[in-house]
Amino acid sequence: MIERDIHDVARIHDGDQVGRLLEMLALRTGELLNVSSLGCGLGIDRQTAERYLAVLEKLFLVRRLPAWHRNSAKRLVKTPKVHLCDSGLAATLAGLQPDDWIAERGRFGHLLESFVVQQLVAQAGWTDPDLRFHHYRDKDKVEVDCVITRGRKVWGLEIKTAASVRPTDGRGLRRLADQAGGNYQGGALLYDGASVLRLDQNGHLAVPLRKLWEL
């Protein structure tokens, strides 16, 4: 795709740099997007890095997940997250192997987050195209990995690689509920366990990841 399809969507003379950008994004998937930092790492200016990023989006290799804020105008200026759409490709470019699941478990957190976000977006495409996807992060660095909206209605999803849960895991969902107020419809923590558990007193549940494909 980098060698051939790229020329169908933009005038790019150095496809190698776009490929290097994709490798850098694989190491940062599920993180806040910093275009200036990416450009610095590639030795190019921010404008060029932004153009290359747009090309990767047009090739459906990369997805920007915009920030959610209760003030719609502020959503436009808050930092998005970046996700590689193909988590298998992201793992390969990041040098991760199946045997690394235990020894390098910490590195799989963002990878799993990108995988789940892409699965949710894909399912919404054929079940409810009106759903929109965001992430939440406030000044206290409290986060929710995936915020789903339909009009003013808001749902939250946290994604964890752990096989157990703690009450503190629902902190981001509770903060999102406070911010969304009466528009908040509920939320859940997706985790690597086997049982549906009550997460807190707010009605949030911890739900096994496999439930994504049992709906």
In a domain, residue 53? The reply is no
Give the count of domains, the chain.
Answer: 1
Q: List per-block mean pLDDT (blocks of 10 residues) for the chain, which spans 215 residues.
A: 64 75 94 96 92 90 94 78 95 88 80 95 89 94 96 96 89 95 96 92 91 79
The whole-angstrom separation of Cα 27 and Cα 82 is: 11
Write the CA distances from 209 to 77, 93, 190, integer angstroms: 32, 24, 5
Check residue 77 and give its pLDDT.
Answer: 66
Cα(150)–Cα(130) distance, rounded to whole angstroms? 6
Residue 28 lies in a domain: no
Q: Which two tokens stand for residue 91?
A: 């793992």
What's the domain range around 111? 61-213
How many other β-carbons are positioned within 10 Å of the β-carbon of residue 173?
28
Residue 26 counted as domain residue: no
CATH number of the CATH domain containing 73: 3.40.1350
| Cα dihedral 192→170→188→80 (10° resolution) | -90
- Residue 7 falls within a domain, yes or no? no
In a domain, 101, yes or no: yes
For residue 191, give the nearest of 213, 167, 158 by alpha carbon: 158
Alpha helices in the chain (DSSP H): 6-9, 15-27, 35-42, 46-58, 72-75, 87-93, 100-103, 108-127, 171-180
Q: What is the pLDDT of residue 197?
A: 93
For residue 15, tell me if it sits in a domain: no
Contact between residue 25 and residue 82 where contact means Cβ atoms under 8 Å apart: yes
Q: Is residue 35 part of a domain?
A: no
Of 106, 108, 41, 118, give the one whose Cα is nearest residue 82.
118
Q: Give pTM, 2 decimals.
A: 0.89
Q: How does strand 205-208 pair with strand 197-198?
A: antiparallel
User: In the prediction, which pLDDT does 75 show?
Assistant: 72
The CA distance from 95 to 23, in Å, is 10
Within-domain flag for 29: no
Nearest to 25 by CA among 1, 57, 3, 48: 57
